[in-house]
Amino acid sequence: MTAGMLALVVAIVGVVGTLASTLLTQMLSLRSKRLEADDQQQQRLEERVEERRRTEYRDRRDCCIAMNMAGRR
């Protein structure tokens, strides 16, 4: 290999590496954002389920209180 060819190969590898690193960084960033969005969606779902559970418990408790009050009258 001559010095000129070696310099050309090194330049090509450098350019390809630079372009590839930019694309890789962008892909990893998008993946990270997607995972974060999925985590937030999962958290909102869990909060809705927990709120529904609390509401059902409150409704059952209110019914029991009303039934006990009616039974004591």
> What pLDDT does 9 receive?
92
Euclidean distance between CA atoms 13 and 21, whole angstroms: 12
Per the domain annotation, does 43 fall within a domain?
Answer: yes
Q: Give me the domain span that covers residue 31.
A: 24-73
Beta-carbon contacts of residue 9 (< 8 Å; ≥ 6 apart): 1
Per the domain annotation, does 55 fall within a domain?
Answer: yes
Give the residue-averaged pLDDT of 52-56: 97
Residue corresponding to tokens 């390809």: 16
Average pLDDT along the chain: 94
Residue corresponding to tokens 């190969």: 9
Report the share of the chain in percent with pLDDT over 70.
Answer: 100
> What pLDDT does 71 receive?
87
pLDDT higher than threshold 80 for residue 1: no
Per the domain annotation, does 28 fall within a domain?
Answer: yes
Structurally, the chain folds into a number of domains equal to 1
Euclidean distance between CA atoms 57 and 67, whole angstroms: 15
Q: How far is CA 72 from CA 62, 64, 66, in A?
A: 15, 12, 10
